[in-house]
A and B are shown apart, each in its own frame.
Chain A
């Protein structure tokens, strides 16, 4: 029978123990420790990337919310800017306040980068100046963004007032 297990040779034991310790030591020191260091580094990199992404994600969702809020708050302005100016619609709107409406386009130019400004000279005749106030009031609820502007000329003849004024129609530059 092999009695090596019963009568343990101390020298052999010590040699094996030494070999064992050396193997474990080398494995840990030269293989596992550098890898663990690397692992820790990439773990912290991962954590930073994750946190960073979460923050960016939160910012994005906030902005999305802000955008949709702004969009719904300013729906009227946005749709009015997109709406194409129709001369017929404007004449029928102005016809509610004035007797005779005619206009000619004077200028078309870019306004503040994204917008186009059409300048139109409007000639009308009206019964009383009150109609002009009502027209200006209603202009702020019109389907397009329109500004009534100077020069305004009002002249009263025997029974009616003729008024000539400028309107500026703004819409979004369609080429953009």
Chain B
């Protein structure tokens, strides 16, 4: 740039207006901006991933606690189920025992022929004692003793002659429990 003196005036001899000198050129600015932008962008992306990460982590933790609660519920319900099953088993066993008892009493009375009259029956778990009257020993032996012998392991009978010529009998029958033998 040249400054000359003409008629006492300072004349600008430059053809162009003075321009501001920038610390960074446009090119540098663009690059710095671009690099900064990318840096910020990557950071935002990173923060997003970190957020998602912690979100997943806390969700997983939540799911785990929920699952633990559900597992506890399952345990509770399992207890209830097994209790119901135990009640069912006990009830069925009892009902079956009642039916068996009824059938065995019915069978016993069906077994007794018309000629024989029973006066007393004692039924225990494995023994049966029958008191009764029979017209003859043979009637008893053929009609009652034979089936009793086939049901029970031991069967003993004692006869007493009564005044009217009939026989009083006492029959003691026993089932031997196989576990007892051992």
Contact = CB atoms under 8 A, between A and B. Distances in A.
B49 A42 contact: no
Contacts of B87: 74, 77-78, 81, 172
A63 B78 contact: yes
Interface residues of B, number: 63
Contacts of B124: 150-151
Contacts of B27: 4-5, 8-9, 12-13
Contact of A35 (B19, B22, B28, B46): B46
A38 B63 contact: no
Interface size band for A: 35 or more
A156 B28 contact: no
Task: Please classify the interface of chain B as helix (H, G, I), strand (E, B), loop, or mixed, using the class held by over half of its residues.
Answer: helix
B94 interface: yes
Contacts of B46: 27, 31-32, 35
Contact of A20 (B31, B52, B83, B85): B31
A110 interface: no
A71 interface: yes
A137 B86 CA distance: 23
B74 A63 contact: yes
Given A43-B56, A74-B84, A1 B19 contact: yes
A106 interface: no
10 contacts: A1-B19, A2-B26, A20-B35, A48-B60, A50-B63, A53-B64, A81-B90, A114-B83, A133-B102, A156-B120
Interface of B: 19, 22, 25-28, 30-31, 34-35, 38-39, 42-43, 45-46, 49-50, 52-53, 56-57, 59-60, 63-64, 66-67, 70-71, 73-74, 77-78, 80-81, 83-88, 90-92, 94-95, 97-99, 101-102, 105-106, 109, 118-125
